[in-house]
Each structure stands twice: as C-alpha cells, then as structure tokens.
A and B are shown apart, each in its own frame.
Chain A
Amino acid sequence: MDYDFKNEPHGVYFLIDNKSFYASVEASMRGKNPLNTCLVVMSEQENTNGGLILATSPEVKRRFHLKANVSRQRDLPIDDDILVVPPRMNLYIERNLEINNIFRRFVADEDLLPYSIDESILDLTHSWRLFGNSPREVAEKIMDIVHEELGLYLTIGIGDNPVQSKLALDNFAKKDPSRIGEIHYQTVPETIWKIPEITDVWGIGSRTAKHLSRIHIHNMDELAHTDPFVLTAEMGLMGAQLFATAWGVDRSNLRKQHKPKEASLGNSQVLPRDYRNQVEIETVIKEIGEQVASRLRHHHRKAGVISLGIGFSYASSQDTGRSGFHKSRTVEPTDSDKEIVEYLISMFEELWQHETIRNIAVYTGRLSANTGQQLDIFKDPEEQIKEQKSEYILDDIRKRFGFTSLIYARSLTAGGTAINRANLVGGHNGGNAYE
C-alpha cells in the first residue's frame, strides 16, 4: 500500500521541549550544569504523602535508572549526590515565557503555539530561510541562543507537519546526542514504522494499545497497513486519527486555534488526609467554592451550571464499591460566593452518606459574560447590591495584599486548607492561585 503525500500540507514544524525543564531551571539557578547534576524537584506539600517528585535531571535518571515518571519519594534512593529542591512554579512559568519570547525572534506570533509549560510548536515554514541553510541549522541556532541566554538545554523535533515533529521529538530527538530528531513524509517507513513500542507513540496509551492488539495490530507498521475503514469501523473517529498518525499525516493548522465549544472553570484538590467530619468537609467545599467564584469574577463570567465531584478515600471506595459521586445543577447565572457555596453544600448533603473522602472538585459551566447584576424579585434589592459589592471589595483587597490578607475565620478551623494552599500553583509551591 502506498500513500500519496502530494496533497498533504508540507511545512517546516519544530516541536521544542525543554530538557527536564523544572530540574534544569533549578540547576541553572544554582550554577550547576542541568545535564550532569543529580537534582530532583520534590513537592512536599501536606497532601503529597511524604513527597511527590515533579522532575528529575537527566543525570539522576541515568545513574539511578529511574524512569521519567517516578513519582514518589520512596522510589528515590538516598544518595549523597542527589540534591533535593522544592518547586517554584512561578519561576518556571516566567522562564517558559522568556523561552517563548526567544522563539518569537524566529517566528511570527501566530506561528507559535505554546503547547505546555515546557513544550512549544513553531511553524517555521515561512521564516526558516531567514536564519540558516537548513531547518536543522536553524534548530541548532535556537538551541544555542536559549543555552547562551538562559543556560537551558532544548530538545527539538523537526517535521513536515506538527505530528511528525511531535513523534520526532518523543521518539528520536530525546535519544539522540544532538538532541534533534527529524521525520519527513519520505522517511515515515524508517522512522514512525520502526518505533519499537506502540505505546511510545503520542496518543496511544495502554488502553488503545490493548484495543489495537485485539485486532492484531502490534506496531506502527501494522497500523499503517490496516484498512482505514476497518479501523474506523472498530474504533470510530479515533481509528482514522491513528491511521493518519501511522502515516505521519496531520492536516491541522496552527493559525486556526481550536476553541472549545463550552468553556468551564473549576478547581479540585486532593485532601491532605481522609476527611470524615461533615463540618470539615463542608469547610473545604466552601473554600473551593469561594475560590472558583472569585475566579469567575476575575474573568467577568457567571456560571449557569455548578458541579460538585467527591472522591472517596481508598478504604471507603473498597467498602462501598463506588469511587465517589458527582452532581451538576443548572442555576440562574451567578458569580456569588454565597450562592455557589449554597448550591454546593446542598448537593453534597443530598448525596453524602458519611463516606470518608479524599478528593473534592468544583466545576462551573455554561459561562456567560457578566453584563450586570440580575436582581431577584423576592429579595431586598439593597441587600443584594451590598452583598455583591462586598465580594468585589474582598477580591480587590486580596488582589492587592494577597489572599491571606482577608480570610474567613472558618478557614482557621481544623479542616480548612485555603491558607496553606494560597501560595500554591497547580498544587505546588509558588504564587497566587486566585487569578
């Protein structure tokens, strides 16, 4: 079977990754070489059960044979050479912005797509010739500049489209001493089809791999040579998607950014211990509800749907056979602390049957622009306006002086987690999470 690539989009795409990003930033801040220092970034928040490893430097992985995703401190050997440092999430965000600003010297804004905190996609189709004689030369130049200005090392995947660059990055660049990998339409058979483990391919996890093996597909070569109609019949749209990946085909356009149909906004947290007491649980639900409400106000949005997700502790889910519960409620659009918390508490009380819990999530959906306050005909209008004003003032004070400058006394009770979490970003040390 042959594939005619003539009509597929041909461009020059780079997928750039920062090698062991958090660990490298921490090493460079300490004057150590990111590639040959044994450094581990470990979050030791109360809810991490002793310590959660966020990143390890390449040298730690090599010397102690750690997999990329060792996540618990108990898996990390105690060795004099290993340096353990706490995370600084804000610093990493700042560095990511600096790195993307360097990329902007090579591409127009619309040709740069930051993909995650340590990965960006660059469409150099229109601009690479300005910087070198080949895409590889340009990649080397970008690497040198980032190293010179920030002390960090990049890994770059080059492809004719975004998926080729992603596969080139994950499967070749990371293993190549030059830290550059390339895949082009004409090299698909000797690159993508030769990837030894099918789960090493972006987008194929263990469940998809199992599904594929049921239809006798065990590697990319077999996947590429399966009838796409059979794949679609078996797996739906994903089948067609996988077939395209096997041939290195990707028709996405970076300039046309995907907008989700429905935006949502929410927060969740793993509790530092099992919670059994209703008052304690409701304290945390109230805190998360207020955080979400505050974020809604910050984004000038009101929520038409409020959802509460509760995850039981391991023991409780063994006993009950359920892992938790989830409930959504459609409401009059609101961004009020009081209303949102009331809805959440009533949903909680309706469904909770004294299980011990470990996980709380609050999400809001059907967001609409906050065009003004809708007064309720059954309540005192003065009172309603006053209430809203006081919430905005609360936001203002927190914005200027930090979240902990003004907190509810309830957060000081045994179950409260808000004060402790106020400085966390993504659950880890570093910054104000109330924006």
Chain B
Amino acid sequence: MNDDISIIWGRVEQLFKHKYQTMYWIEVYNDRFDDTYNFFFYAKEKFGRQRSIPLHTVKDYHLEHLEGIIDELKKRTQLTIKFGGFDKLYWPKSQKLIQRKASEVE
C-alpha cells in the first residue's frame, strides 16, 4: 500500500498547481474489466479545457486496501475524491456507502 500511496501522492503534488480559478479533483474508478482501481487527477481552468491525467493503477484489488489508500489520501489533501463503478458497495472498515450517486464520475 505504501508504494501505491507514495506514487499517487507524488503525482498529485506535481500536478496540483493551486492555480487561480481552476478546479481540481481526483477520480477513482473501479475497473471490473482489469480488476484494478484506476486513479485520475482532474483539472479544469475556468475558460480552459478539462484535463484528466492518470495518477496510478492500483492492482491489489481489495476494498480494504483501497480504503487504506483513500484514508491516507484524505489525511494529506482536501481535494474532492469522486468514485465510479462502486454502485452499492460499502467500505469494509467504516461500513459507509462508497459512492452515493449512481455515478459520480460521469
């Protein structure tokens, strides 16, 4: 897990440029085709294009593992984290619903 979080965090730090009038957020997609969790960094300037840059693909396909990564990320950043592909799934530790809307990433 440490590897995953350090890769993701290293890239977030590089990409999060704190620019004026720019929205930043992270998206995590539950990729059932590859059995991976795909992390992406999003940035959208007010009059610019929306960009999505791959952060990392987590290959350890267990929700416990992902929950650990997300908890750690939330300690380090206040960026919004959106989830997709986790319909009706609950976090194993906190027992909270992972994504509230049918799809947060659309």
Contacts and interface: CB of A to CB of B under 8 A. Distances in A.
Given A149-B33, A150-B33, A151-B33, A31 B103 contact: yes
Contact of A31 (B30, B47, B49, B53): B30
A29 B48 contact: no
Contacts of B30: 31
A86 interface: yes
Identify whether the interface residues of A are mostly helix, strand, loop, or mixed.
loop
B33 A84 contact: no
Interface of B: 27, 29-31, 33, 38, 40, 44, 47-54, 84-85, 103, 105-106
A223 to B, nearest CB: 44
A31 B83 CA distance: 10
Nearest to B40: A30
A242 B29 CA distance: 49
B47 A78 contact: yes
Identify whether the interface residues of B are mostly helix, strand, loop, or mixed.
strand
A385 interface: no
A64 to B, nearest CB: 13
Contacts of A80: 44, 50
A376 B79 CA distance: 64
B48 A30 contact: no
B42 to A, nearest CB: 8
Contacts of B53: 85-86
Interface string A83-118: 111101000000000000000000000000000000
User: Counting chain A CB atoms within 10 Å of each CB, which of B40, B52, B53, B105 scores highest?
Assistant: B52
B50 to A, nearest CB: 5
Interface in A116-160: 149-151
Contact of A84 (B27, B50, B84, B106): B50
Contacts of A31: 29-31, 84-85, 103, 105
5 contacts: A30-B29, A30-B40, A82-B50, A83-B50, A85-B51
A82 B31 contact: no
Contacts of B106: 32
A78 B51 CA distance: 12
A144 B62 CA distance: 27
B21 to A, nearest CB: 14
A71 interface: no
B50 A29 contact: no
Contacts, number: 46
A83 B52 CA distance: 7
A28 interface: yes
Interface residues of A, number: 17
Contacts of B103: 31
Nearest to B44: A80
Contacts of A29: 29, 31, 38, 54
Interface in A30-84: 30-32, 78-80, 82-84
Contacts of A79: 49
Contacts of B33: 28, 149-151
A151 B105 CA distance: 16
A37 to B, nearest CB: 9
Contacts of A82: 49-50
A84 B85 contact: no
A151 B53 CA distance: 20
A88 B54 contact: yes
B38 A30 contact: yes
B48 to A, nearest CB: 7
Contact of A78 (B31, B48, B52, B105): B48
Given A31-B31, A32-B106, A151-B33, A78 B49 contact: yes
Nearest to B42: A83
A50 to B, nearest CB: 12
Contacts of A86: 53-54
Contact of B84 (A30, A149, A151): A30
Nearest to A76: B49
A60 to B, nearest CB: 12
A159 B99 CA distance: 47
User: Counting chain B CB atoms within 10 Å of each CB, which of A31, A32, A85, A86 scores highest?
Assistant: A31
Contacts of B29: 29-31
Which 9 pairs of residues, A with B, have the shortest CB-CB distance?
A31-B84, A31-B29, A31-B85, A84-B49, A84-B51, A85-B52, A151-B33, A83-B50, A29-B38
Contacts of B47: 78
A88 B40 CA distance: 13
Given A78-B49, A83-B51, A83-B52, 15 more contacts: A28-B33, A29-B29, A29-B31, A30-B38, A30-B40, A30-B52, A31-B84, A31-B85, A32-B105, A78-B48, A82-B49, A85-B52, A88-B54, A150-B33, A151-B33
